[in-house]
Amino acid sequence: MNRLIEKPHLIFLLAIPIIMLIGILSGDAVLDINVHDTYYVISYLHLAILISILFGIIGIGYWIMLKADRKLSKWLNWTHIGLTFGGTLVVWILTKFYRTEIMEYEYNNNLTLIITLIILLMIVGQLIFPINIMYGLIKKKNKTSG
């Protein structure tokens, strides 16, 4: 686990093939987002490509900081990785609790609100990445022994 915090680029770059595989295997499945009278529809494959590009940028950013011998905050690394992957796991688990009976609209609305808040927290959590990069650029370089 300590290696993951010292080299956070590994988890982001290794997640890309898994995300792409999920996107490809989902077939013609789509994500529908209803905002008032407007529906936004995006296929899972396009969503997987978008997330893979984002994870690629994040992974390369962490890798460049490692190669530039800049020290990043472990606390910010933990927070960023936890919000990104932990939030995704929690949202996936919560979507399994949706009820399909007609009388359960209030339950589903509350569940949708919780999922939306977690997703917003994950999006805001992505701001930790540039903050951590700036922290690493401002802080002095790692001191190498020998």
Q: What is the pLDDT of residues 63-89, one digit of tens each?
A: 999 999 888 888 999 999 999 999 999
Provide the whole-model pTM: 0.81
Tell whether the model's pLDDT for residue 56 goes beyond 80. yes
Q: What is the pLDDT of residue 7?
A: 86
Contacts of residue 100, Cβ cutoff 8 Å, sequence gap at least 6: none
Q: What is the pLDDT of residues 78-132, one digit of tens each?
A: 999 999 999 999 998 988 887 766 555 667 778 888 999 999 999 999 999 999 9
Lowest mean pLDDT among 26-40, 41-55, 119-133: 26-40
How confident is the model over 4-13, as pLDDT tens digits?
A: 777 889 999 9
